[in-house]
Structure 1
Amino acid sequence: MIKKEKQQAIVTLLITGLTFGILCLAAWFHTPNQISVCERRRLAQLPALTKDSVGKGNFMSGFERYSQDQFPFRETFRKLKTKALFSLYQQKDVHGIYVADGYAASIESEINEASVSHAVNAFEHVYTQYLKNGSHEIYAAIVPDKGYYLAAKNGYPVMDYDKFFKYFENGMPYAKFIDLTQTLSLEAYYFTDSHWRQEALIETANQIKRNMKNDTLSDDYDICQAADSFYGVYSGQAALQVTPDKIMYIDSEIISQAQVYNYETKKTGTVYDKDKLTGYDPYDFFLSGPSALLRIENPKAAEKKNLIVFRDSYGSSLIPLLIDSYSSIVVVDLRYIAQKKLGELIDFESDEMANADVLFLYGTILLNDSSTIKK
């Protein structure tokens, strides 16, 4: 009996040693990956081994990050860990991400008042510097994250959204607020991503138009498919094994003929960028993703009417549905452009811009973590 136990112990040690040996060899000899597509981030690379890096301890700390990021079969192990945490240990979330009713979402339970104040101050600075002396009609709309429709009914912590909205209504007295919550539902969001589905936004766009006194309400669009395997940001962050989303988009004669000028690249393109579907984030298909400053021209416009939109990534998929109401739309993302630079690129005192409608369109996720908004 003792001999048998000894043999089993030896076999266990051999298997364990062989497994670690294979993993170590794989770690040393495999070609390091530059990025993690699932996590949408750059992976740590092998640090240079020098006398200086060893002496200062930089090599060991860098090697630790490298070994964690470049571990063989890392994605497989991440998925196994997530499955164990959810299924075996009955954990309610992984890294603040939970799954309920088939939707992955991030827990948003506390209002970050410092962040809200930062965003309100940044918007007020835009108003004071560029809009106050114009003849603008100014509007604001806040996009609730999917937790607004999902969290409470599934027993997850939920933010006081009414209080959150009130902060901005009180802090932006120069803007007329448009309530979007009644035009949206849980089904308006991707299963695996934080963003909303463009094909579900027709009534939301019409709600904005009605409030902005535009009569170009329409449901005469074609709904097309851009991609059938979209794994959103939550599926990668938490290594979820989920059914991918489809990316659908809305097209029309006006949208297809609109031209989009990017002030950073100094290039003119189209509303939808199919090259982005195979890139870092397929959602960048809409208006080519994050951009500091865009100008959309509608050659089919019935009259000269202009719009300025200050937005985050939710605007990328909604703004195309506003094109039929305007001859031009200037799209500003304050995460990527300093406000003083904005005045150098746009003449807010020109007849065109001084009379433009203005829309602040932001999601609760960014507003509750607004440090990236520049003043």
Structure 2
Amino acid sequence: MGSQNANSAGRFAPHTEPDGAGSPTIFEADLVRLKVRFPLKRFITLIVTIGALIIAMIAYSAETGLRMSQRYTPLIDAAMEIKLEATTAYLWYEEDTRQDPHANMDLVRKHIDQADWYARAMLEGGANAEGIFIPLDDPELRTSIEDVRRLLAHFRAKMEHPAFDQTENMPQNQSSDHMFETFIKMADGVETRLQNLVQIAEKRFVFVQAVLAVSALAVMSVLGILFVRFADAQNNAVRDLRREIFRRIRMESTLRKQATTDTLTGLMNRRRMTDILQDEVSRATRLNTPFSVVMFDIDHFKQVNDTFGHDVGDVVLKEIAVTVKSRLRQLDAFARWGGEEFMILLRGTDIDGALELSNICCELLAGHDIETVGRVTASFGVASHRPGQTVRDLVRRADEALYQAKNKGRNCVVIAKAD
């Protein structure tokens, strides 16, 4: 009794996928795919590069605006001051010489010196209460300012020494009025040139601002596109990962079912039933609750296989499993123990309840016709769990009772000794 053949639990051992050392998990594999789809390092490098370009453009724009405010504006003021001071000196000179040719020229010299100071500040730089003057870097303007200074020096020399024209080879008919007009034209030329430079700088500033705005929009667009690509890559990776997880869950469920289920009858296999019996023994020991087991074996099953073939024998096994299972409760456990042998676990059931159910199943099988074969009977062994008893002891007692039922002529129920 208790024989086992190739249909026992060992036949349905689960097929597990190899998981060699160092093989990536689904999460690691997905991260690798994500890196391939979207190179994050290149994305960061691109952002840093574009950011540096924008910063450089902003710095250049700020320098241009600062140059206009700190360089050209004071220089324009200086050009205007040169004209103002020179004009004032000329007016004082004309008024004094008409009234008194030997009048004091200190006030005239003061304004000429002041005009010359502004001219020198435009060439060399300087500072006063009006602001800071940065030296000119335009060659044409520097030449014009140097000419202005020479004309101022000549005007001063002419004021102090009327005969200065002959020593400097200046035209004798060049009057003070003509000299002043020439000076004003030169000063106006300097001011006009400065205003042109300001206009050029303003245009450059506007252009830089426009380029900066367009670049900012382009950068935002590029970053938006890259972000969308990055988000799509992540979403695709998450979808792939979710599908992989569901596939693994289904595979695990299938493997678990294969590891715990008899593929022919759909009942539990011996491995699963042994685990359940162990849990029930622990529960009964802890709570002092009764339970019983019923082991039954199909009578003359070898003759069925020899007479009708193994395919018909498989049909018989499935028919008996369905018939007996229809009489069990949902909390009971039913397993194919091995070959043509079955095991029933009756929770919360003492020996009397187990005996009653076994008699019902025995009569039910004996009166059930199976196609091709006809009626097939079974022998039953019943045992109830006793305190301190192990699973092995309980199964052995039920197996011994089944052996006695076989010896009594089969198609009957026998209770284990001491039950």
Q: Same fold (TM over 0.5)?
A: no
More helix by share: 2
Per the normalisation by structure 1, the TM-score is: 0.20
TM-score between both structures, scaled by the size of structure 2:
0.19
Bigger share in strand: 1
